Amino acid sequence: MKEISIPFNKSTQVGNEIAYIKEALLSNKLCGDNLFSKKCQKWFLEKGFKNPLMTPSCTAALEMTGILMGIEKGDEIIMPSYTFVSTANAFVLRGAKIVFVDIKASDMNIDENKIEAAITHKTRAIVVVHYGGVPCEMDKIKSISNQYNLFLIEDAAQALMSTYKNKMIGTFGDFACFSFHQTKNFTSAGEGGLITINNETFAKRAEIIREKGTNRTAFTRKEISKYSWIDIGSSYLPSDIQCAYLFAQLEKSEAIYEKRKSIWNKYYSGLKELANKNLINLAKTGDHINHNAHLFFIKLKDINQRNKLIEYLSNQDIEVVFHYLPLHNSEAGKRFGTFSGEDQNTTMESNRLIRLPLFYSLKDNQICKIIQKIKDFF
């Protein structure tokens, strides 16, 4: 098979990834919560995150929140339909019904002004997704969750290092879940995640749920002399090899952040002209937010034009992709959820969107080529 000259995503080692994996291997202690897991955890604590626990994925972190909140059959969970399946599956697994709320065309995030209409006496939680690392309107959303006494969960899979009014994303909800999948800004060798717990009442139990329902974590801290089965639980620990890879990336977090920002800004300034002519739409965000340049999207006129551009760029050896197929239109989404009110933006806006290549080792001449080819298309 021919290799694409500009792929959509590529994993890049930026620092000591290989050396740290070797160190982990030579330590002969590869299971969870060893040397590099602890180093990562310390890094997140120093950044101001509360009760960080490394997980095998963001999916696992989201599942933990469902268990911790005690979600039961018939409970309703509010979230956008424009998201990855795991946001919904974590709660469907506990028997919950998903109530999908429309997004805003400006940034593809949940429309904070449409949340209240979706709340019923069965609603237990609001899950926000900071799409593309662009923070949702947290002031408004937090005031709604407080007013109706609902849990607030941040699906921050894409949003590490983003801020809302200078406050770190992941510090607003009762829980926040991050992903270190290969496609995200920082990766733990392909798969990985993190849960942070701002609501202290859940901090102790989270350790137990994560360790197969045992108090083994307290045991390894030498707080108790033996550990035993005390609650429900599962296995939500990543191997220390995964954390070794991630720690090397965290050490280079500023460089990764700056590099992605610079790519994002180059796309933005290069494509602004097409946006000014109303040929495409770019993301619009307020001055009170700072995003982490997780992804760069453009929106075309409609799905036909979008698909033509994908094909055109593919013929030029440039791989671009679209996502997500709105969950409420999918087979499982229809079975497990309902859409609150009218779908004004979710389907239409997702049909128009494509994501451009954005990864650490993307070169200036490649960015220029992509911008030029998009201009040529028009």
Ligand X SMILES: *Cc1c(COP(=O)(O)O)cnc(C)c1O
Interface positions with ligand X (CB under 6 A): 57-59, 83-84, 86-87, 129, 155, 157-158, 179, 181, 193
∠ CA 131-184-95, nearest 5°, is 60
Nearer to ligand X, 127 or 309 (CB): 127
Crossing angle of helices 240-251/35-46, nearest 10°? 40
What φ, ψ does residue 343 adopt, rounded to 5°? -80, 85
Dig out the tokens for 362 from the structure. Answer: 């993307």
What is d(CA 292, CA 311) in angstroms, rounded to the nearest whole number? 28
What is d(CA 98, CA 149) in angstroms, rounded to the nearest whole number? 18
> C-beta of 246: minimal distance to ligand X in Å?
12
Beta carbons of 268 and 282 less than 8 angstroms apart:
yes
The full DSSP string for 221-264 is TTSSSS--B-S---B----HHHHHHHHHHHHTHHHHHHHHHHHH
> C-beta of 52: minimal distance to ligand X in Å?
15
Kindly provide the residue ranges of all beta strands, DSSP E only, lying in the chain, ordered along the sequence.
53-55, 76-80, 97-101, 123-129, 151-155, 163-164, 167-168, 175-179, 193-197, 289-290, 296-299, 337-339, 353-356
Nearer to ligand X, 110 or 274 (CB): 110
> C-beta of 34: minimal distance to ligand X in Å?
21
Nearer to ligand X, 34 or 86 (CB): 86
Nearer to ligand X, 156 or 274 (CB): 156
> C-beta of 192: minimal distance to ligand X in Å?
7
Nearer to ligand X, 130 or 216 (CB): 130
> C-beta of 277: minimal distance to ligand X in Å?
31
> C-beta of 123: minimal distance to ligand X in Å?
21
Nearer to ligand X, 88 or 119 (CB): 88
What is d(CA 376, CA 275) in angstroms, rounded to the nearest whole number? 14
**What Å distances lie between residue 22 and 17, 19, 29, 30, 288, CA to CA?**
9, 5, 12, 11, 42
> C-beta of 55: minimal distance to ligand X in Å?
8
Nearer to ligand X, 174 or 371 (CB): 174
